[in-house]
Amino acid sequence: MPGAKNHRLALTALLPLLALASPVHAQSVIGSGVPASTTANSQERPIAFAAQAPENAGLIILTQSAALPETPALSGADRGAVEAAIAAADFQGKAGQHLKLRGIGGRPLIMIVGAAKAEGENADWRAAAGGAIQKLMAEETELAMIGAPDAEAMASAALGLALGQYRFDRYKHDVEKAPASQQVTIAGAAANAAQMLWTNRHQHLAEGVRFARDLQSEPANTIYPESFVDRTRAALAGVPNVRVEVLDEAQMRQLNMGAIVGVGQGSPRGSRMMVVTYRGASGPPLALAGKGITFDTGGISIKPNSGMWGMKADMTGAAAVMGATLSLAKSRAPVHIVAVAALAENMPGANAQRPGDVVRTYGGKTIEIRSTDAEGRLVLADAVQYVADKYDPYALVDIATLTGSVGRALGPQYAGLFAREDAIAGKLLDAAEASGENLWRLPLHPAYAKALKSDIADVKNSNIDAPGASAGAHFIGYFVDSDLPWAHLDIAGVDWLDSARPLTPKGASGFGVRLLDQLARDWRE
């Protein structure tokens, strides 16, 4: 039939054109290939210092009692009106108390902020300032803060302002009004000295915390091992005395890092080991190692869906060590630090590791995989062995969102501290008190160490007959030589807050940056 033959010939002629039109490379893009946002977070209030408060600014008055500090910012009549309001409200100046007033003098508002702590405790000017600024996020006016008694208090208040007003809103476009962005001026006689303290240290500490919070808050389609590395490189670009080393999967395989490569083998996004060295002093370094699971599905041992979105922040330990290093390096602290981020994405792909697999680590020790959802300790096993071998530190601290157990034990008030030696535990507890990031020491018992033993390998990573947080700590400690001072911080209960605190709005806390910054400054070999 001529018609049928012609039809077949026509289809045959079209085949090359159809082949050219087919999307041959459609699957070569990992993810959608479309960025969720190209904007930055909304502008925050810049912070300045001055001897006198600007005349037309809203006034924040910090006080440790019902008495107002002496200040030229209030006229005699205005001061009397404020004192009457304080008496009527029975305001005592205790920490956490706030009294907002309007219609007094020419100022758009006056807020009295309590800073008094319990007897024998010093006022926390950071928390007082941070709590105040959170309550004034919608006030579209310039602000001035008075009442911090000296340069250190003023600089601490500035740190509180920077941390308290943090926001992560770069993905929000359907909003009628952004938070206020007018300047806040911290006024006092010690303004010049406070400005120097802020510029030389506190500003960089705030930047380190905010860097960690940004990494925590970003979705996993934005932050994954390679982009974590890129963000950190960009943050440290041009900072003196910093060196960055990054191992990709091929290099890690050559070094027999089967634990970290195994965790990431189910994901199309390759794992990375990032090592940042800051040399601000001579001698051996203090090593900091952070868990960097950029998303944790649990792998083959998959987690339930409820709350899994929060696993984008399972890299908080890695973010904390890099944020602390950023702070120390930019402030030119006289310390020597080597910070390791063990980065992987734990996905249940066709090539994912299985329960029952055995992996070899950098140092040659082997691990039986009982659960692919006990993955943080796996990436840290390679990280702690590598940094100890290559950099010869005088001490090693690892930090990780490791176990739900620690959150159930300590709640959102404390991170868990594990240490073999009282001396290193004491240094961390002192740094916790000074930084305001609380730790509670938990036990390392020999019976828990015995429970790690595997029938087929050296140790197993799960199904360990021991309390969960202690079992995780013992597992990591197994890969740290007994003569190296070592501590483990389990921050799974404090990395993400369900409600705001004075220094931490709801969401990512950046826990660990202030603590590790303080530890490095206080602890020298």
Active site residues: 303, 377
**Which positions ≥6 away from 274 have C-beta within 8 Å?**
228, 229, 232, 244, 245, 246, 247, 292, 318, 322, 340, 341, 343
**Which positions ≥6 away from 194 have C-beta within 8 Å?**
49, 148, 151, 152, 154, 155, 158, 186, 188
Tokens 């960009």, residue located? 234
Angle between helix axes 225-236 and 316-330 (nearest 10 degrees) is 10
The Cα–Cα gap between 242 and 258 comes to: 28
DSSP sequence for 449-510 = HHTTB-SSSSEESS--SS-HHHHHHHHHHTTS-TTS-EEEEE-TTTSEESS-BTTB-SEE--
The Cα–Cα gap between 321 and 317 comes to: 6
Token digits for 32?
């959608």
Angle at 229 between CA 388 and CA 497, to 5 degrees: 90
The Cα–Cα gap between 275 and 270 comes to: 16
The Cα–Cα gap between 204 and 198 comes to: 8
CA-CA-CA-CA dihedral for 76, 78, 84, 89, to nearest 10: -140
The Cα–Cα gap between 204 and 181 comes to: 20
Give residue 6's Cα distance to chain centre: 69
HSE of 377 in the Cβ direction (CA atoms, 13 Å)? 30
What residues form the annotated binding site for Mn(2+)? 291, 296, 314, 373, 375
96: left (phi over 0), alpha (psi -120 to 50) or beta: left
What residues form the annotated binding site? 291, 296, 314, 373, 375
The Cα–Cα gap between 15 and 177 comes to: 56
